[in-house]
Structure 1
Amino acid sequence: MDTKSLMIDTATLLFQQKGYKNVGVNEILKACNVTKGALYHHFPNGKEELLIACLKGLNEAITIDIEDIFKKHPSTLEAIQSMIDKLIHNLETEGTITGYTFSSIVSEMATVSEPVRQACSLLYENMERIYCDKLVTEGYSQESAFEMALWMTASIEGAMMLCLTQKSTTPLKTISKLLPTILKGRTS
């Protein structure tokens, strides 16, 4: 792995685990075993530029993963439940779902940095687009599909945060259990 990729992967994990403000540049450098010069060579604007690179990497990885899941399942309900099952499995086996959650970064940085806010917004928009497109193919109107996609994004993201804080998979299991009722009959 090249130095830039190593810094992005390491910083992504650290930011997700500890939050952006709680991770110092020196901690990233030490974890990567690189110099400050290497950081500023790849990220001339420093830590915030590195964060934006991390968010872009998360965006790509999460979007690809969700698209793959949605392509494998004929319905939105099956796809979302498969995605939630994957999150639950990760939480139960790895004790975390850091590969999917970036809410801590959003809550810390979205009001402080416009470029970071935009990077976070893009990921949420990609998730909602995937959900919305699938719902439209199932007969939902564009407006209804957009509203449902927004609800699913907010519910799943909120449930992930609750799972992490409660150290329990119950919030995600509850969302999965309620989905059939919520999606039923909402095709107008």
Structure 2
Amino acid sequence: MVRRTDTRQRMLDSAAELFHQQGYHATGLNQLVAAVGAPKGSLYFHFPGGKEQLAAEAIRQSAERLCDMLRAIVASSPDIITGVENVVEALATSLEESDFQRGCPLATVALDASGDSEAIRQACADGYTSWHTLIAEALNRPNTLDTGKADQLATVVLAAVEGGLLLAKTLHDTAPLRAIAPHLRTTLERELS
């Protein structure tokens, strides 16, 4: 079994950032190892499956980190509706602070490479599923919705936020992302009452 080292983690962190900003195909192996300051052979030592394995693991890490952030925002909010609004605002602020370079950590790679690689597609799918599950569980507290309804609402929230992020990143304007918050509030208030 390959030993986990600081170099391995630095590769994952750098890859996550590069894939997040540039996508899979635009990020080369030389760029990945240069970002860490490691020899090319170390990439294959830590990731015998090469760039594809590195990408899948970096995507999983990015998805987990965002899920942790979402969970913390929702948990610190007085209710799920405010939590959704707070998530939208946090994502908009992050996008602005990155000068519109960092939208969803999965979207760029999902659009770019999930059709080419089952491992990457599955890592993206698992990430989206974890976020969807978090939203559905938060919507269903304290067990007032049936599972199907919570699932459908979570899909609406996730799709709206993901679409808003994509538009905001593309237009270099957070207005499309921020515009969804009041509409989600209206929808959730109606559905959760």
TM class, shorter-chain normalised?
over 0.9
The residue that corresponds to 2:24 in the other structure is 20
- Cα shift at 1:187: 3.6
Give yes or no for contact 2:16–2:55 (8 Å, CA) kept in 1: yes
62-71 vs 90-99, which moves further? 90-99
User: In the TM superposition, what are the counterparts of 1:1-188 in structure 2 within 5 Å?
Assistant: 2-96=6-100, 98=102, 100-137=104-141, 139-187=144-192
TM-score normalized with structure 1 length: 0.93
| Distance (Å, rounded) in 1 between the aligned partners of 2:136 and 2:112 | 28
- Cα shift at 1:4: 0.7
The alignment partner of 1:98 has SS state of coil
Instruction: Report how many aligned residue pairs link the two structures.
Output: 188
Per-residue deviation, residues 133-171 of structure 1 (Å, max 9, x unmatched): 111115222111100101111110111111110000011
Give structure 1 stretches of 5+ with no counterpart: none
Aligned Cα root-mean-square deviation (Å): 1.7
| Distance (Å, rounded) in 2 between the aligned partners of 1:97 and 1:68 | 23
Letter of the 1:183 partner, please give it. L
The alignment partner of 2:115 has SS state of coil
| Distance (Å, rounded) in 2 between the aligned partners of 1:7 and 1:148 | 36
The alignment partner of 1:185 has SS state of helix
